[in-house]
Amino acid sequence: MTVLERSILINATPDTIDAFTSDATRWPEWYPGVEQVTPDVGFPQQPGATAKIVYKAVGTHFNITFTSTEYDFGRSLAYKMDGMMTGMVRYTLTPEGGGTRVTGRFDYDVPGGGLGKILDKLVLERMNAENLEKSLANMKAHIEG
């Protein structure tokens, strides 16, 4: 399993950040590679609610289902990933100074046994790390204006 974690300080309240990030239909605006999101009613607030994600990486479209596993308004949200990648995604919001530290954690596996692991180490891990960093920077830009 590959584990990626990045954080950024955003000059906004946890409530403001939560309102922006929990609107799954807006994810393509700030998360690189996310091309389409189709959420269930109640996603992510209701545990078990899902969102169908189309994620493009290395020229390939990955169909992934996110299932909400945790939602604590203004503090954290987490999803289980199933499909062409499996794992967990978690965001935590921590007040810091006059803003909020947003930490994104991405734990995932790529199918394909040994070949999947090689592809991940050679290409996907670096690209996913860059996308996580860019997503946090984009989130900051959108929220701070």
Predicted confidence (pLDDT) per residue in 37-72, tens digit = 999 999 999 999 999 999 887 788 889 999 999 999
Which residue type does 5 have?
E
- The answer to whether 64 and 36 have CB atoms below 8 angstroms apart is no
* Largest interatomic CA distance in the chain: 46
Write out pLDDT tens, residues 64-107: 999 999 999 999 999 999 998 889 999 999 999 999 999 999 99
CB atoms within 10 A of CB 75: 14
Domains along the chain with CATH numbers = 2-144 (3.30.530.20)
Cβ count within 10 A of residue 70: 15
